[in-house]
Structure formats: structure tokens, C-alpha cells
Structure 1
């Protein structure tokens, strides 16, 4: 018979896993929506600004009621730390991702972001005192070989479409490096957020982090474009609203609550369904090519990341 503490923790862990998997699915729709909106003529920064403008009122309301419910209010220092962490995970990582998606396929983007647990493991061991097992080494090798295969897949397809133009190589390489930087930023967010979530609670932490990212995005947009609404039509509004609510607000709360319940490591590796769903949607809805290199790259990355759990 299990101990009472184990019985109590099992439903908590199970619900945390469900939240993490659901968030992974919703996040997997984001690159599809973004690429579709790019086809409608939108660009990275205006899209990010509109997405957060639509999402921010939700975070303000949730954050207010979460604050009211706390018996012990967090300190100004704790709130400031949460805001800074939000800049890493929801401003910098999001902006780099959106710009990177202007250059690479949705399939490569999702696989690269899915590989961020490898960065969590490495950075955690180097700077956060987390254990590093020898079994992680083959997992890391598998993951990054898989990413190289997918990178080669994008290069091959781009070269075929542009008759081997050197600009195609530059475009894919630029996008790849931008999304790798996005994954690095999000890995740091995951590592820093565990302590902050414990202090503020998942709902208040997410609200503060997203509000901080929203303010930074508003400033960035204002400096580049001024206080001017992007040119919008019905299709652009529908896509942006869907992305703001179902690919931003809802999964962001799910991720924070999952981290609270099952920890950053298990949360980060639970997104196995993400690349698969993104690949299926990219092929069906965007007409992206699918071949053996896609299968091989995706399989290597997913096996590599899943082995980090062992």
C-alpha cells in the first residue's frame, strides 16, 4: 500500500502532466498560425504586439484576483524578479522565435524549440547545481544530430526552390540561429521560474511575467513603428485573436501550473506531441514538404529528448 504522501502526490503529478501535454499541443499550433498570418502579409513585431495587446487584459484580471487571494503578499523584489524572468520567456524568446519563423519552416522551428530541454539540462548542470548524468550525453548527441538533419532538410528544399541560391542558405541559417537563441532564452526562463512560481503562485507569476513582456513589446513596437495600428483585415484579426488566446494565454497558465506540480524538467520533456502535431499541420495546412529527412530528424530529436527523463 502506498504511503499517504505518495497517494496525495499521484493525482497532482497526473494533472500536472495533463496540463503540460495540453500546453504542448496548443503551443504546437502557434507556428502554423504565424506562418499563415505571414502569408496574409503580417510581420513579426506587429503580430507580437497585437497578440500581447489582446492577451494583456486577461493577465491583468487574473493577476489582480491572484494577488487578492494571497494571505502573504510577495515582496517588491520577488515581483521584480518575476517581471525580469518574463522578459526572458515571453518577450525575448517570443520575438526571436517570430523573426526566426520568417526564415525557416514551421517543422524546423517546432523541433528546435522542442529541443530546449537539452539546454535546460546543460545550463542547469553548469549554473544551477542540478545533477548531470552520463546517460544524458547520448541523448544530447541524438537530439542535435536530429536537428542537423532537419536543418539539412530545410536547406535542401530551399535550394531546390531557388536553384541553389546562396541567399537560401543564409536565410535558413539566420532563422535557425534565431530560433536556437529563442530556445536558449526559454530554457533560462524555465530554470529561473521554479523558485519564482513557488513564491508567487503559478497564476500571479504568469500574469506578472506576461505583463512585463507585454510592456517591453509595446515599447519595442512604439520605437520602431510609432503608435500606429497595423493594417488589418478580417483574416488577420481572426488569426491573431486565436493565437493570442489559445496559443498564448491558455497554454502559458498551463505551463506555469505544470511546473509547479511536476517541476521544470518533466514539464520541458512532456512536449513530445508538439513536433508531431506541428509537422502534421504544416504538411496539411501549409503544404510544407515531408520526406524521410523529416521523419529521421524528428525521430532522433524526440528519442534524444525523451531519454533525458531516464
Structure 2
């Protein structure tokens, strides 16, 4: 008979794969919206507005606390600048080159994040990371050096896709500095709202917002917002808690595979054998980056906009040592200090801060780790 932990792990793996599938199908929805007469600014404005409305409904239902002060300012900046820029570059590339190549080029971001982490001295250039960087570099050379990437339009699309990878790497690096304890749905709602405002203002300023030529285009915008934004966020949120961040990040590599498969089925797009080999090398670098040195380690995951975080699982569990017990009073006689009701009724000293996983989602920022701070009388002012 399967244990509850095994059932939970299976459920988490399924939810992560469902999330990756939803994200991977965004390319098909976007290309269908383009065919219906949407341009990139109008499509992204509609996507962000609808996704923000749905996310705020989830926040209201969960009664989640909102970020404040500096954290709120960082979330607004991540949405208005980082999220909007990354999505604009990515979906702009989709309008010029094949979606399969765009998705694989975007996966250069884990290597870029690792380079930034080493440059900022957050990580050490050990053999595992150097091997992943080399694997990613070889994969990129194979994809860009293969046939079918020539021409001015294709070159522009490649540059946009690589620019999206750079923008996303910077986004993750900044979002990793957000404080712990932020609710992921609240952060995601703030980021999506900021991105929506940014895209609408930019569209109005440039006169690029317009109604689509076909009313069916709004159906594809709705699918892009629901199937490729809100549902994957929720699925990844639960899935990472069940399987752990490292396993979730590796399972999320199914996303570009879904993009390649769906665009090949719908549009007949095909990668050359050399491009396919390069794409596999890039995805292998992601798996290498997620391999854990210690089997007991768990992870804190950066919340993302469009692709899973490469730093998922890079942090170890950190526990503060239990304070020494005083041999006197109730402790001396083996009695427990209790408080009536709530968390205060647990034994004194029963809670220790423990890092737990956070989901890889799109449209948010790094919420940090949740902390079980123990009995209320040990939490200090404000609880």
C-alpha cells in the first residue's frame, strides 16, 4: 500500500507537470492571438489585466496579507520593468521565429543566473556549476550555429529571445532579495498588476493598442491568462510543496518539450537534428544545476514570470538551534507551560524556524521561505 507521503509526491509531480504544460502551451495561444489580429502590446495588456483580476480574486478568497514598504516597491518594479520587459521580448520573438527555438533559447537563463551569482559572490564556481555552464554554452552554439536561423527577421527574433533570457536572469537575481514571509499569490497579483499598468501605459503612449480583427482573439487571450498564467501558478504552488523545489525545477523542463511538441503538431514547426541536440544540452544543464549535494536538503524557490527558477533548491535548510532549557520551575519537574487556545497552547520551545519550499510560478517574485516561529509568546511584538 502506498504511504501518504508517496501519494503526496505523486500528486505534486502531476501538478508540476500540469503547470509546465500550461506554460508550454502559451506559445500556441500567442500565435493564435497574432493570427486573430492582436499585436504584442495589446495581447500582453489583455493577458496581464485578466490574470491580475483572477489573482486578486484568489488573494481576497485566501485573505492573504499584502507586501508593504520596500517589499511592495520592489514587487511593483519587478512587474512594471522586469516582468513586462521579459514578456515583451519573449512574445516579440515568438512573432518572428519558431516557438520551439524561442523556448529553448530562453532556457539560457539558468546559466546566466549562475554567472550573476558567481559574479556577485553568492555562489562558488565549483565543478558542478562549471559543468552546467559549459553544457549550456555548447547547447547554445549548436542551436545558433545550425541552419534555419539566418536572415534579418530570424536574427532579430534570436536577439529578442536571448534578450528575454537576460531580462529574466536579472529579474530572478533581484527578486531573490525580497524578504521572507511574503504570500506568493499576493506578490504575483502585485507583479501582474504592475506589468498590466506598464504595458497599457506604453501602448497608449505609442498608439499600439487596438482591437483585434477577429473577436475570437479574445478567447486566446483568456486561455493565455487562465491556462498559461493562473492555473500553472496554483499548480506549481502546491506541487513544489509536495515534491521539493529541486525535483520541481527538473520536472519543469517539460515546458520547452511541450512547446516543441504543440507547435510541431499545430504549425508543423521542426527543429533540425543539430538544434534538437543543442536544446537537449541546454536542458541537461538545468538538470545538472539542480542536482543536490545532500539528500536531506530542501529548497526555497524564486517565483517567476514565465519559466521556472534555476536557483530552486540551491539553498539548504537552515534551522536555528533550540535554546538551552532552564532547569528550574516547571521544566525541573517535567511540567509544560501552557496558554489557553491557539498556538500558545503548545509546549514552550516546541517551535523552531524551518525553511520550506516555495513554488516556481510565473508572474511573481521571490516570496522567500515561510517560517514557523513557534509559540506566540516567543514571536515578539506584532506576532
Residues 1:298 and 2:279 are matched in the alignment: yes
CA–CA distance in structure 1, aligned partners of residues 102 and 60 of structure 2: 34
Check 1:80–1:13 CA distance in 2 against 1; reply closer, same or farther (3 A cut).
farther
TM-score, with length taken from structure 2 = 0.66
Check 1:35–1:120 CA distance in 2 against 1; reply closer, same or farther (3 A cut).
same
Query: Could you list the runs of 5+ residues in structure 1 that have no partner in the other structure?
Result: 1-6, 160-167
Aligned residue among 130, 151, 155 for 1:173: 155
Aligned residue among 259, 263, 268 for 1:287: 268
Residues 1:215 and 2:197 are matched in the alignment: yes
* 1:197 Cα deviation from its structure 2 partner: 6.9
Aligned residue among 181, 184, 197 for 1:202: 184
Aligned residue among 122, 130, 138 for 1:145: 138
Residues 1:132 and 2:159 are matched in the alignment: no
More helix by share: 1
Aligned residue among 148, 151, 155 for 1:157: 148
Aligned residue among 41, 48, 55 for 1:52: 48
* 1:112 Cα deviation from its structure 2 partner: 1.6
1:136 is paired with a residue whose SS is helix
| Equivalence map 1:1-310=2 (5 Å) | 19-66=15-62, 68-70=63-65, 74-127=67-120, 129-153=122-146, 156-157=147-148, 168=151, 170-196=152-178, 198-225=180-207, 229-255=210-236, 268-310=249-291
TM-score, with length taken from structure 1 = 0.80
Check 1:191–1:17 CA distance in 2 against 1; reply closer, same or farther (3 A cut).
farther
Spell out, residue by residue over 1:95-148, the C-alpha distance to the aligned partner (whole angstroms, 9 max, x if none): 111112222210111112223211222222222613432222232222222223
1:308 is paired with a residue whose SS is helix
* 1:260 Cα deviation from its structure 2 partner: 7.7
RMSD: 3.1
CA–CA distance in structure 1, aligned partners of residues 75 and 115 of structure 2: 23
Which stretch of structure 1 is more off in the superposition, 19-28 or 253-262? 253-262
Give the conservation status (yes or no) of the 8 Å contact 1:107–1:278.
yes
Which structure has more RCO (C-alpha within 8 Å, separation ≥ 6)? 1
Check 1:49–1:76 CA distance in 2 against 1; reply closer, same or farther (3 A cut).
same
Give 1:163's aligned residue: none
CA–CA distance in structure 2, aligned partners of residues 193 and 12 of structure 1: 29
Give the conservation status (yes or no) of the 8 Å contact 1:82–1:208.
yes
1:38 is paired with a residue whose SS is helix
Which stretch of structure 1 is more off in the superposition, 27-36 or 205-214? 27-36
Give the conservation status (yes or no) of the 8 Å contact 2:102–2:161.
yes
2:201 is paired with a residue whose SS is helix
Give the conservation status (yes or no) of the 8 Å contact 2:26–2:228.
yes
Which stretch of structure 1 is more off in the superposition, 191-200 or 130-139? 191-200
Query: Could you list the runs of 5+ residues in structure 2 that have no partner in the other structure?
Result: 292-383
Spell out, residue by residue over 1:60-98, the C-alpha distance to the aligned partner (whole angstroms, 9 max, x if none): 2233445x444xx64322211222222355211101111
1:230 is paired with a residue whose SS is coil
Give the conservation status (yes or no) of the 8 Å contact 1:78–1:199.
no
